Structure 1
């Protein structure tokens, strides 16, 4: 089979190499998955650059997110998906439910081999079947950004119908958050620095779009759009934590997903006087993935896909993703050559 491996974390794109290896066989409780597509996320660039916060195995297969079809079931995996089922694996295969802990921190595309290969052996109980109406590229985009957005919106106090959710920009997590929050009956206020992207955000479910370039005091614009109250929930992805707190309603929640660059410091008094809760979000569990897939099936949600690259051009997919102009998911299509 064909696969890609990283010669070492920190080598950048130069460390990504194409390899040919034997198709693995599933052991007890495992299944062999013929991969159809794998998707890129910001974390995958961090792995390439040696900046990822969790351990990364040497010579590992990259990409945490993907979709495939069960090709073979190992002994003792009979209660899992059957042969022929189209499935996505949880990024943290051993994190079934409950709070995140270091003893379940093994993750695909990091300390475990990821999805940029024609075949992968995976734990049967880490897999979730996906709706048939999604394309492979769309289904490959569920388990990382989608699960993170789902965790942000359903964890802690959770979003209730009629509340206001603030999303920032048009990254993968934010685009998912817009769709999911709107499906939950929330009013979505989204920010962007590009008026051309406002139409996409509106189409996905945003009721109000604020351009933070033409309105640099965007927290004030958010408050204006919410009758002076502010947002009940903020999905914070940009490292603008102080501004996000300023845009949050009294008693609201800021779900801290990540940051770009150096985050601005937050005045603790702003948290106290505003009654704001900060909640860190570390992707999500298999239970979060199940919840997301159920919501996607119920509301027929489709993730935004920017571009699909063929398997032999996977390095170009990484370069395109790193350039930062993609709106939606960058996906690598994986066509198996068949056989062992």
Structure 2
């Protein structure tokens, strides 16, 4: 069985396509899944490059889409032939946040999905959205579910709300599609006018080039008539948080989901207090959240934006493409 592994201490030149033993038949409560696709996330990039150290020979990739080949004794939720998608936190089945690390996250603490087949507990997967191929399904595991939780589960998004999104990567584009499907008005930022035009084609109501308008928080607030936005999906971290606080309304919600500008920095606490805003960190979501997200995708017909697809053999090139920042939406890996 083919699998991609990364040798310690990490690095894109240390990714290797290897032969590994077949996982065999599923035991009680397990399913065997033939995997056909994944998608790239910043977390996967951190593991592959060694910025987030993992075990020597780790199989990377947190997202996995495929079809059920066999089910073990006692499994009733799935049947052979079902299309399925993995869960980022396979042990967090539902309820309030219960996981604070990546010890059991596929592609980090345990082997991930850059391989041809796995045998895992049935509870490590959900059904895939209807009509999605494996790569499309894999985009919901990390990026899609993060956007869903930020806006719907934690943010309680409703029609007529205003939403600010930073950049045009996988989480932000998923959030744009979710917000528009639910009747919200959306502002989005980028340093690329071409990407902003693509965002407008997807329904963005207001676009802003942050290289041109450095004080973009005030410009976003002006767009709302001075009130500020109801929700911010904050992927930048310390380098953008001050502007996000400037943009949010009094009593608004900032979902802190990324650290693209660094892992630490100053927080303008006085400004946050004055806004009386809720600043909430989050990491993806539970299996129950994913099941609700899949139901919403089936109802709305939203399809993910996949910028490019790479073969498993060219996984390093997929990471280099992510590294370039050229992508819009998700980067897929198919085999």
Q: Distance in 1 between matches of 2:99 and 2:304?
A: 30
Q: Helix, strand or coil: the match of 2:259?
A: coil
User: Alignment partner for residue 101 of structure 1, among 78, 93, 98?
Assistant: 98
Moved over 6 A (4+): none
Q: Distance in 1 between matches of 2:180 and 2:100?
A: 35
Q: Distance in 2 between matches of 1:104 and 1:286?
A: 16
Compute the displacement of 1:155 (Å): 3.2
Compute the displacement of 1:322 (Å): 2.1
Q: How many residues align?
A: 330
> Which deviations, in whole Å up to 9, do the C-alpha atoms of 1:167-224 show, x marking residues without a partner?
0110111001111111111111111111111222112221111111222111111111
Q: Distance in 2 between matches of 1:41 and 1:103?
A: 18
User: Are 1:305 and 2:306 an aligned pair?
Assistant: yes
Alignment of 1:74-223 (within 5 A): 74-76=72-74, 78-102=75-99, 105=102, 106-223=104-221
Which ranges of structure 2 fall in alignment gaps of 5 or more residues?
Answer: none
Moved more, 278-287 or 121-130: 121-130
User: Are 1:314 and 2:315 an aligned pair?
Assistant: yes
Which ranges of structure 1 fall in alignment gaps of 5 or more residues?
Answer: 335-340
Distance of aligned partners of 1:17 and 1:159 in 2 relative to their CA distance in 1, 3 Å threshold:
same
User: Are 1:248 and 2:245 an aligned pair?
Assistant: no
Q: Distance in 2 between matches of 1:131 and 1:98?
A: 22
Compute the displacement of 1:238 (Å): 1.2
Question: Could you tell me whether the CA contact under 8 Å between 1:190 and 1:210 is conserved in 2?
Answer: yes
Q: Helix, strand or coil: the match of 1:215?
A: coil
Question: Could you tell me whether the CA contact under 8 Å between 2:149 and 2:155 is conserved in 1?
Answer: no
Moved more, 315-324 or 182-191: 315-324
What's the counterpart of residue 287 of structure 1?
288
What's the counterpart of residue 42 of structure 1?
42
TM-score, normalised relative to structure 2? 0.94
> Which deviations, in whole Å up to 9, do the C-alpha atoms of 1:59-92 show, x marking residues without a partner?
221000020000111222x212110001001111
Compute the displacement of 1:100 (Å): 2.5
Q: Distance in 1 between matches of 2:128 and 2:257?
A: 25
What's the counterpart of residue 11 of structure 2?
12
Question: Could you tell me whether the CA contact under 8 Å between 2:174 and 2:329 is conserved in 1?
Answer: no
Compute the displacement of 1:134 (Å): 2.1
RMSD: 1.7
Q: Distance in 2 between matches of 1:173 and 1:56?
A: 24
Q: Helix, strand or coil: the match of 1:65?
A: coil
TM-score, normalised relative to structure 1? 0.92
Q: Distance in 2 between matches of 1:124 and 1:324?
A: 35
Q: Helix, strand or coil: the match of 1:162?
A: coil
Compute the displacement of 1:99 (Å): 2.5
Q: Distance in 1 between matches of 2:189 and 2:265?
A: 18
> Which deviations, in whole Å up to 9, do the C-alpha atoms of 1:273-331 show, x marking residues without a partner?
11111000111111121122112111111111111112222222222222221222211
Q: Helix, strand or coil: the match of 1:91?
A: coil
> Which deviations, in whole Å up to 9, do the C-alpha atoms of 1:229-255 show, x marking residues without a partner?
111100000121111001000000100
Q: Helix, strand or coil: the match of 2:64?
A: strand
Compute the displacement of 1:104 (Å): 8.1
Q: Helix, strand or coil: the match of 2:322?
A: helix
Compute the displacement of 1:147 (Å): 0.5
Q: Distance in 1 between matches of 2:148 and 2:283?
A: 11
Moved more, 127-136 or 192-201: 127-136
Q: Distance in 2 between matches of 1:220 and 1:264?
A: 21
Q: Distance in 2 between matches of 1:101 and 1:139?
A: 24
Question: Could you tell me whether the CA contact under 8 Å between 1:95 and 1:104 is conserved in 2?
Answer: no
